[in-house]
Amino acid sequence: MGLDLLLGVALLLGVAETLADTAAVALLPAVVPRGELEQANGRLYTTQTVTNEFVGPPLGGGLFALAAAAPVLVIATCYGLAAALISLLRGHFQPTTRGPWSLRLLGAEIGAGVRWFWEHRLVHALGIKAAWEHGCWAATNAILVLLVQERLGLDAVGYGLLLSAGAVGGVLGGLSASWIIERLGAGSAAMLNLVIQAVAYAGIAVSTEPLVVALMLALQSYTGSIGGVVGVSFRQAIIPDQLMGRVSSAFRLYALGAMALGAAAGGLLARGFGLLAPYWLSALIMLVLSIALLPTVNNRAMAEARRAAQLREERDVAGSDQTVGSGLG
């Protein structure tokens, strides 16, 4: 009975986290001006990395040492505090064009979001990019502990330090993302992200020096954070409000679904061709992807998509004002 309850709670937490993450992506454009999305998302990435990688694990271990139930109670308190803080936000966060919701229309609404994601060439290309990135990360991360033990000769402490190096890179990437995007442009930053990841994967494959591997992991996380900020900020800027949650869910399905497939593929590749095979293949995939997506994902295309979305939003506002005016007349 205890295990059944634990599994049920884990399932509910997973569903709740999916809903919360999707809602957070849809909520941010209503809270932050469009010109500050990159900076806001960069700070969110930094906060998540710090809490998940640096604060959470040691705090959880310390609380567990005090009492087995202490980490769970603290997490429950944090969830309650987060809900209270979100409730303090003032504003209207429902899409203005959304009609009455009913369960009967759920399938049609989901279909509309998936179609928009599939038919928007640039957003779909970014979804493909995210899927391959997450899949390659999962494939290599699944065997990283074996690589650390057998190739680098490190123990558990060394493995933890390597993971910390990656976390540091993620923090720095989140902090500098808006600065990098402002100077290079969103499209160039996204493509450079792929090239640097290819270098990082190849660097890990050729090196037997722990410091070099640590640097490559940090570089990978650094550029991964920047790529993540580019993608989410762009989606928030161009997806219509009434479709934001559904399109973001379709995008996340690409990325997170690829992680499950990538982890399995990484294990099979390592068993069949050696521990370095997933890294070499990931490096090749990142390089090929950067070349294949360049005609679609570039500064000009992303700037034009943003301008088109802004014009659409201005027309919608103007149409809404005219409707109100005619009603008053």
Q: What is the mean pLDDT of the chain?
A: 84
Question: Which residues of the chain fall short of a pLDDT of 50?
Answer: 324-325, 328-329
- Residue 54's closest CA among 194, 160, 182? 160
pLDDT at res. 100: 61
- Per-residue pLDDT reduced to its tens digit, 220-236: 999 999 999 998 889 88
pLDDT at res. 104: 63
> How far apart are the C-alpha atoms of 101 and 114, rounded to whole Å?
18
Indicate whether 329 belongs to any domain. Answer: no
> How far apart are the C-alpha atoms of 168 and 178, rounded to whole Å?
17
Indicate whether 276 belongs to any domain. Answer: yes
pLDDT at res. 329: 44
Q: For residue 156, what is the domain's CATH number?
A: 1.20.1250.20
> How far apart are the C-alpha atoms of 297 and 120, rounded to whole Å?
12
Indicate whether 274 belongs to any domain. Answer: yes
Indicate whether 231 belongs to any domain. Answer: yes
Indicate whether 211 belongs to any domain. Answer: yes
pLDDT at res. 291: 95
Indicate whether 6 belongs to any domain. Answer: no
pLDDT at res. 296: 93
- Which residues form the domain of 224? 36-49+108-308
> How far apart are the C-alpha atoms of 72 and 230, rounded to whole Å?
34
pLDDT at res. 302: 92
**% of the chain surpassing 70 pLDDT:** 91
Phi/psi class of residue 171: alpha, beta or left (left: φ > 0; alpha: ψ in -120 to 50)?
alpha
